[in-house]
Amino acid sequence: MLEKNTNNLLLKNIQNNKASQWGFIYFQAMIISSNISLKPYNTFGIDAFAKFFTTIRSIENFQELLQDDLYKNNEPLILGGGSNMLLTKNVNGLVIKNELKGIEIVKETGNDIWVKCAGGEVWHELVEWCIAKNFGGLENLSLIPGCTGASPMQNIGAYGVEIKDTFYELEAIHVVTGEKVTFSKRDCEFGYRESVFKHRYKNQFLITSVTFQLSKSPVFHIEYGAIKQELETMNIKELSIQEISQAVIRIRSSKLPDPKKIGNAGSFFKNPEIPATRFHELKAEFPNLVAFPLENGNYKLAAGWLIEQCGLKGYRKGDAGVHKLQALVLVNYGQASGQDVYDLSSHVLKTVKDKFGVELEREVNIL
Ligand code: EPU
């Protein structure tokens, strides 16, 4: 094992532009590498580089790292599954991949069960774990890419369910002070694809675990049109969370590109919310407008429909494109840079604004 003062050697060699040749063992189980391609670590498959890169496998790893000069001198960027980000440039800091693992039951009452999941667990593996034990609540969120620690950041949601519905609390460590903090549901300030971690506390915490309050006698959420239709075609005898998960997996697989095959980060834009007056004006002009009334009196527009009506579904410029089956998803056909995808997103924003007067908002985190 190399000694810690190899650190200087690494920095010296970076100054000599030989950084890519160096990677070294650091603490007992930690390796910090330099000049690493992030292509395998972001689902868009963008080939941007990190000045430094390391993987956290224990909370102790992270706390030791916090004390180190290399950490103190380089801005940290916490990475989960890299499934909701677009890298438009190299990262001139230390990328920290959260690989904290473990799922455990922490509390149980008659009907409820509290499941605590480490931040680095793959989200869908948590969903499968819960389904296998018949703990209901996460089944509609099957097959969402990414890891559990990132799930509260944008309050992931699909088919009528969001994680805020079953979220109990999360534990996190502040990236500067090392303080351990517990966030309740209220502390997270969840909204549609929103939480405090996207704004006030952006890049400030490593989420070490998330606890969900699930149900041993699940309530089924099948109101979302696509699920009902899919369940009908599946010819189900007795409905269960397994069947709902299967229906969701079938719908997602038929519409959404598999990031392992075509780079993407799911929905690139949010569905915009507009006041009722504006909705009625638009509906008069575009009778087929797809929109959903909200409890606050506003309407949510299907951004995919707006983009499709602009003739952009399937549009491609170089290797950046609008997916041909779901216009809300931008894709990297292979060699697109982050800037190519970003420029395409700007083109989509402008085209939709010109035609409908509606401002779309990017859902993906732009770096
Ligand atoms: N539509 C079109 N053309 C398209 C896409 C959609 O006309 O190309 C219309 C259809 O009429 C459809 C409606 O839009 O009825 C809604 O489409 P869909 O059910 O596919 O859902 P979405 O609103 O496009 C949202 C989430 C998805 C989530 C689905 C299902 C956002 C930004 N996206 O998409 O989440 O899986 O609902 O619940 O809210 C993600 O966030 O990455 C994501 C994939």
Q: Whose CA is nearest to atom 20 of ligand 1?
A: 326
Is the domain defined by 103-233 classed in CATH 3.30.1360.10? no
Q: Whose CA is nearest to atom 32 of ligand 1?
A: 270
Quote the pLDDT of residue 19.
37
- CA of 238 from ligand 1 middle (Å) equals 28
Which CATH number applies to 263-366: 3.40.630.30, 3.40.50.2300, 3.40.50.12780, 3.90.78.10?
3.90.78.10
- CA of 302 from ligand 1 middle (Å) equals 7
- CA of 152 from ligand 1 middle (Å) equals 20
Atom of ligand 1 nearest to the CA of 313: 8
Q: Which two tokens stand for residue 330?
A: 């931008």
Quote the pLDDT of residue 29.
58
Fold that domain 3-98 belongs to in CATH: 3.30.43
- CA of 329 from ligand 1 middle (Å) equals 9
Domain positions in the chain: 3-98, 103-233, 263-366
Q: Which two tokens stand for residue 68?
A: 């180190």
Quote the pLDDT of residue 6.
37
- Sign, CA torsion 343/347/349/350: positive
HSE-CB at 179 with a 13 A cutoff on CA atoms is 6
Among the listed residues 75, 94, 81, 85, the one whose alpha carbon sits nearest the alpha carbon of residue 36 = 94
Atom of ligand 1 nearest to the CA of 327: 8
Mean pLDDT, consecutive 10-residue segments, the chain of 367 residues? 33 32 46 94 97 94 91 94 96 96 96 97 98 97 96 95 98 95 98 94 96 95 88 89 96 94 96 97 97 94 98 97 97 97 98 98 96
Q: Whose CA is nearest to atom 7 of ligand 1?
A: 305
Which of 228, 230, 267 has most ligand 1 atoms within 8 Å of CB, for mutation? Answer: 267
DSSP run (H or E) holding 214: strand 205-215
- CA of 310 from ligand 1 middle (Å) equals 16
3-state secondary structure of 285: helix
Catalytic amino acids?
193, 267, 363
Pocket of ligand 1 (CB under 6 A): 158-159, 226, 255, 266-267, 270-271, 290, 302, 304-305, 308, 313, 326-328, 363
Matching fold, domains 103-233 and 263-366: no
Atom of ligand 1 nearest to the CA of 255: 20
- Sign, CA torsion 238/241/247/249: negative
Entry pTM:
0.90
Atom of ligand 1 nearest to the CA of 266: 42
**Angle at Cα 82 formed by Cα 55 and Cα 344, nearest 5°?**
145
Q: Cα separation of 70 and 12, whole Å? A: 13
